[in-house]
Chain A
């Protein structure tokens, strides 16, 4: 039963402000992922919660109690480091037993709990080895074991699988998820990998340059990004962004991408919604994910002609760069849908996946068609 709350957190390193007025409430048993580029303040935030870093202003509350005056050891929080931070001179058993031995001394109880954790993580056969003899994945299992063994109030993980190779990362990702479901403790997880964030999180917290951008479920963040940064940071390949002018026509709203010869048709309610949101042409950016660009090989009603410029075959699907005048638009198609670059294709935008942002601030107008 652990809630964590951050209130108006500010943190400076000299002249550089790394966290700006951060507010966040984390519910019991929740799996929160802090997502952002390196240097966005996510790790600093995590370390501030753990007590490894001081904050300049604001409150960190654990179960309603302010803890910023407390040392890391008094906060009863476990932390899994990116570098694993295993004690090199101790065996795996001693590493996992360390937090128990540091606080109390009942030998048989420690033995039992270490064995139980080792069994959960399937590292029983490694208990007598030293960290230097382990593979990266096993080291991380041990580090997680050391965090789990004392049943902390919350688990904090700082890019715990960032140092592993791709295949192992996928495995460990699934394992961390399984473990969270089984053990159910409040978890805060830091990563720069949006796939990790999407697959693990109950809620994702996107940060950029020390400022919290959006908090929401993976679906919310993906489908309704609150600004252009979130829109482009989450999702792969990156969302298409283009300055547009919207005009009214019979039955349709016409969306003309800058540099493109012809406009796309979107439902006519768009113009009214944009007007209501205070949007004006000249300060309007359209965002659409590649899967929101629908491609046809024959001319069809409401489709705009384009040229397939580059084709990236990715096995399960292809990513195609469509050229419309001076404008490029990436689309996602079935693999082999367009045979070769240079051919003419026809495209239209899926209205449900069109996002509109204010160019000057990047904020979303929140339009849902």
Chain B
């Protein structure tokens, strides 16, 4: 029994009037897209899974030997890798927390009748529209100890932001917060404006103070959409590469993606780096899954 997956083209539609049938449309648009996906995404994904069980090095002509789970075993027992994961975790927590606090706070400020609200919102969204590399390069200038505007504005003299091993990771996180808070703000703003005004009126009648109203009404009702913002930002922060790589090269800022990059393209341990990439993938999936579970629970009501 055949299931009809495709619906027929409406005979009056513009595509039909140009003589495009369903089959033609499929061949023209869908097949190239799927081919592209297979060649550039799916195939490498599966191929690298195979490599992750070998000692293959892309830099040499030596044939790849199957080593089983050795790469995984060694990686998971490597304290340096765990140090990279610890740095990544710290970075994710600082950066995402910062983005949520700043982004949600800005959204709260914007969620009222103020003049030029649309213009202000658009301007606030600019950072996230810039390229990561550009942001990294000019924040490097802003952080510069001798002529950077940040030290000048804060009166910190020649404070080392990026060369200081204790500060560098926070400096990267601050840049990330600056760049991606608008994203959290945008989603929060959508969530906040979806809270019906009459609920605030009901809370006022019920004699709830501003804090009680915020924690019992606003926050729970914005939670689902805020969760989506957090999921996106956690995934992105976990995978951070460009910002950290461009801004600084401290060992204290070597997040897992940088370690992966070095392993793959500087040390040419192709097989092992594939294994590490899979470990990272599984971790991101696991973390996302926890959030999604929570999100579903929140959405149930």
Establish whether residues A87 and B207, one from each chain, have CB atoms under 8 Å apart when the complex forms: no
State in angstroms the CA–CA spacing of A125 and B24 once bound together.
60
Selected interface stretch from B41-49, B208-216, B246-254, B275-283: B208-216
Shortest distance in angstroms between B240's beta carbon and chain A's nearest beta carbon?
A: 34
Establish whether residues B204 and A87, one from each chain, have CB atoms under 8 Å apart when the complex forms: no
A79 within 8 A of B: yes
Q: Which residues of A contact B209 (CB under 8 A)?
A: 73, 102
A99 within 8 A of B: yes
Shortest distance in angstroms between B209's beta carbon and chain A's nearest beta carbon?
A: 7
Q: Tell me which of B204, B207, B212 has the highest count of chain A C-beta atoms within 10 A of its own C-beta.
A: B207
State in angstroms the CA–CA spacing of A21 and B301 once bound together.
46
The B interface, classified by DSSP as helix, strand, loop or mixed, is helix
Q: Which residues of A contact B202 (CB under 8 A)?
A: 79, 81, 85-87, 146
Closest to B208 in A: A102
Closest to A71 in B: B204
- Residue from A72, A78, A89, A102 within 8 A of B301 (CB atoms): A89
State in angstroms the CA–CA spacing of A64 and B3 once bound together.
76
A88 within 8 A of B: yes
Number of A residues, CB within 8 Å of B: 26
Establish whether residues A52 and B301, one from each chain, have CB atoms under 8 Å apart when the complex forms: no
Shortest distance in angstroms between A270's beta carbon and chain B's nearest beta carbon?
A: 52
Establish whether residues A87 and B199, one from each chain, have CB atoms under 8 Å apart when the complex forms: yes
Closest to B300 in A: A130
Closest to A53 in B: B201
Shortest distance in angstroms between B294's beta carbon and chain A's nearest beta carbon?
A: 14
Q: Which residues of B contact A88 (CB under 8 A)?
A: 221, 301
B290 within 8 A of A: no
- Residue from B198, B212, B220 within 8 A of A81 (CB atoms): B198
Establish whether residues A52 and B207, one from each chain, have CB atoms under 8 Å apart when the complex forms: no
Closest to A76 in B: B207
Closest to A130 in B: B301
Establish whether residues A81 and B201, one from each chain, have CB atoms under 8 Å apart when the complex forms: yes
Would you list which residues of chain B between 180 and 231 have a CB under 8 Å from chain A? 196, 198-199, 201-209, 212, 216-217, 220-221
State in angstroms the CA–CA spacing of A81 and B198 once bound together.
8
Establish whether residues B201 and A72, one from each chain, have CB atoms under 8 Å apart when the complex forms: yes
Q: Which residues of B contact A130 (CB under 8 A)?
A: 301
Would you list which residues of chain A between 349 and 369 have a CB under 8 Å from chain B? none
State in angstroms the CA–CA spacing of A77 and B201 once bound together.
12
User: Given A89-B221, A130-B301, A98–B208 Cβ distance below 8 Å?
Assistant: yes
Establish whether residues B201 and A98, one from each chain, have CB atoms under 8 Å apart when the complex forms: no
- Residue from B198, B208, B221 within 8 A of A73 (CB atoms): B208
Would you list which residues of chain B between 27 and 63 have a CB under 8 Å from chain A? none
Shortest distance in angstroms between B212's beta carbon and chain A's nearest beta carbon?
A: 5
Q: Which residues of B contact A77 (CB under 8 A)?
A: 205
8 A-B pairs in the complex with CB atoms less than 8 angstroms apart: A77-B205, A81-B202, A83-B198, A87-B199, A99-B206, A102-B203, A103-B207, A130-B301
B residues near A (Cβ < 8 Å) are 196, 198-199, 201-209, 212, 216-217, 220-221, 301
A residues near B (Cβ < 8 Å) are 50-52, 71-74, 76-79, 81, 83, 85-89, 98-99, 102-103, 130, 132, 146, 150
Beyond contacts A74-B207, A79-B201, A150-B206: 16 other A-B pairs, Cβ-Cβ < 8 A, are A50-B205, A72-B204, A73-B206, A76-B207, A78-B205, A79-B205, A81-B198, A85-B198, A85-B199, A85-B202, A87-B199, A87-B217, A88-B301, A99-B208, A102-B216, A150-B207
